[in-house]
Structure 1
Amino acid sequence: MPRAVLLVALAAVAIATLAGLAWLWPDGKAADDLHGSVQFAAEGATFPEAVVDRVRPACPPVDPSDPGGSGGSADRSGCGTVTATVAEGAGDGDQVTVDVPPEVATSGLAKGDRIQLLRTPTVEGQDPTYGYFGISRATPLWLVAGLFALVVLVVARWRGLMAIVGLGFAALVVGFFAIPALITGEQPVAVALVTGALIMFVVLYTTHGFSMRTSAALGGTLVGMLLIAGISWWAIGAAHLTGVVDQSGQALTTFAPGLQMQDLLVAAVVIAGLGILNDVTITQASAVWELRAASPAMSRARLFTSGMRIGRDHIASTIYTIVFAYAGTALTLLLAVSLYDRSWWELLTTEEISEEIVRALTGSIGLVLAVPATTAVAVLTVPGPRGSLDP
């Protein structure tokens, strides 16, 4: 009976997910109109790649005691610049010298590396102007991605391959459904829940196979996702977080005024918690099935207790993972705000820090509650004790 209830519930959620996908599917024309609607640079500007010929060290700091601000006797001519040769497109072969930020000049950039330039055309009869735009990182990024795929395939083999396929599917859902739906004004929390449910259905079953064990994990995952959405929605509203903390948020409020920023923050918390939630629930379901295999005569009550012992250890380590992940992401922000002449308590209540705290804590609460939920679903659906009337 519990197995039938779980399968019927999952089927109902699957139907609701597909219905939500159809209902929230973005207006393609509206998404196309918004895409590229914000002018990034002057009209006619291009971004050619160039090969670095020479890097001059960053300029020495200016001596604040020097009233002229010249930096004393230090030679500042030509410092903090990169000389490069345009390697593609308009201006191919031009050798230019551009100023770069100090952190770029000291980042290890060397001759032979590639950078991106901003080439701005000028009036007829004058040469175009060049400026530094960024470092071309395509090659190292592809190498890291290739190394990641190789390691996953060698160690996890078939499961690793299916995990990569699932990751690709998740990227497609986010790129072709979630982002266009959000940018065109669809309800962010609904979009996040449909996105999360769709991804979890496909990822769990393709990676771990069609089984009652996977179904139990999926049930716990969906419960955890709903808990994270509800708790984060309440916490974000209670803390009056705006969801606008940087230039990206300000740009969205300006060019996509229909976007609900507070609800977008809830959606971000839900999507951010999917990966770690999946890890916890599949581990709990597997633990219950392995405990049953090791002790066929164990009652369901004892099975739940044993499963929760494993779950408590997993909760402790996972909470560290979540908190340290957010702390690492916000490390630069933490260092910056520590320079202000205000107490740490006052700084913790600022929009930027409060948002990270709410993200970490609400995600952790949902994650913790997903452990007993998944364990209970798994215990109810795992085969009963041998030689017992326990259903």
Structure 2
Amino acid sequence: MNVLVFLMIILFILMKLIGGEKGVRSFTALFLNFCVLFVTVFFMTVQTFNPIFITLIASIIISCINLFYINRINLKSITAFVATLITLLLLIALIFIIVERAMLQGFGIEEIEDLTSFTLYVGVDFVAIAICTIIMGAIGAITDTAISISSAMNEIYIRNPLLNRYDLFKSGMNVGKDILGTTTNTLFFAFIGGYLALILWFKDLAYTFGEVINSKVFSSEIVSIFCIGTGAILIIPITAWLAAYLLTKYKDKVPAN
């Protein structure tokens, strides 16, 4: 416990020194997001509530915390929030189709031994849980990309308010292309880092490449990466177009240089 407190203090000090007031708000947002996730998990276990609906509400609240609490209510945070909602709706439609067809719900044979002491009659729809997992995993990447593009385009327009809507959109797309490469790599290495032990276990079990690819545990994570990556890609043109439209339309709301 002392180590956790020590690491938390180091994180807070660094965020305060580098980020200033916004760094402190970002640190506070971590705990607010944790509280939202805790409450979400609690309500998901109540059978009278739809877990997907609860997850959507939680995702909207998390977006508000990450965008409006950290960055205040301004044109760039509003742009990022609206773009996040649009992307989330498009992504949910894709997730429903993919999860239903891929049949990724439930547990794999690698997890049977760990589950022998538990009952599976918990009244939980594992298809819905799989969808909720992907949605919750995507919201962080989507909001991060949205505010990065919106903030960059806001700065570009402040420095050069003579840009027309199309040129501003192209600038946003160029920023988004640079972000896209790092985002996809982040998702990939987050998977590798989190499931390195599983990959080593597959090696010890002498799984063939086909068995690894068809493993429910492995496949569900790969599908999650593809769905989250799709959301991170869709958010780029949506945010770029929306930011270009709002910045040029509401010029009086953009702070002067």
TM-score by length of 2: 0.89
Partner of 1:171: 34
Residue ranges of structure 1 left out of the alignment (5+ in a row): 1-137, 387-391
Runs of 4+ in 1 over 3 A off after TM superposition: 245-253, 383-386
Select between 334-343 and 150-159 the one with higher mean Cα deviation.
334-343
- Does structure 2 conserve the Cα–Cα contact (< 8 Å) formed by 1:299 and 1:385? no
- Using CA pairs below 8 Å that are at least 6 residues apart, which structure has the higher relative contact order? 2
- In the alignment, structure 1 residue 316 sits paired with structure 2 residue 178: no
Partner of 2:223: 358
Partner of 1:340: 205
Shift of 1:289: 1.1
- In the alignment, structure 1 residue 236 sits paired with structure 2 residue 91: no
- In the alignment, structure 1 residue 290 sits paired with structure 2 residue 155: yes
CA distance in structure 1 between the partners assigned to 2:115 and 2:61 by the alignment: 27
Alignment of 1:32-181 (within 5 A): 138-176=1-39, 178-181=40-43
Q: What SS does structure 2 have at the residue aligned with 1:296?
A: coil
Report the structure number with the largest CA radius of gyration: 1
- Does structure 2 conserve the Cα–Cα contact (< 8 Å) formed by 1:243 and 1:249? no
User: Which has a greater percent of strand?
Assistant: 1
- In the alignment, structure 1 residue 208 sits paired with structure 2 residue 71: yes
C-alpha offsets along residues 334-369 of structure 1, whole Å, 9 cap, x if unaligned? Answer: 111123344213311110110110111110001110
Select between 336-345 and 141-150 the one with higher mean Cα deviation.
336-345
CA distance in structure 1 between the partners assigned to 2:115 and 2:54 by the alignment: 18
C-alpha offsets along residues 155-203 of structure 1, whole Å, 9 cap, x if unaligned? Answer: 1110011112222221222212x11111112222111111000121233
- Does structure 2 conserve the Cα–Cα contact (< 8 Å) formed by 1:297 and 1:385? no
What amino acid sits opposite 1:166 in the alignment? A
Aligned alpha-carbon RMSD (Å): 2.1
- Tell me the matched-pair count: 247
State percent identity of aligned pairs: 21
What amino acid sits opposite 1:345 in the alignment? G
Q: What SS does structure 2 have at the residue aligned with 1:297?
A: coil
Residue ranges of structure 2 left out of the alignment (5+ in a row): 252-257
What amino acid sits opposite 2:237 in the alignment? P
CA distance in structure 2 between the partners assigned to 1:305 and 1:249 by the alignment: 52
TM-score by length of 1: 0.60
Partner of 1:183: 45
User: Which has a greater percent of helix?
Assistant: 2
- Does structure 2 conserve the Cα–Cα contact (< 8 Å) formed by 1:220 and 1:374? yes
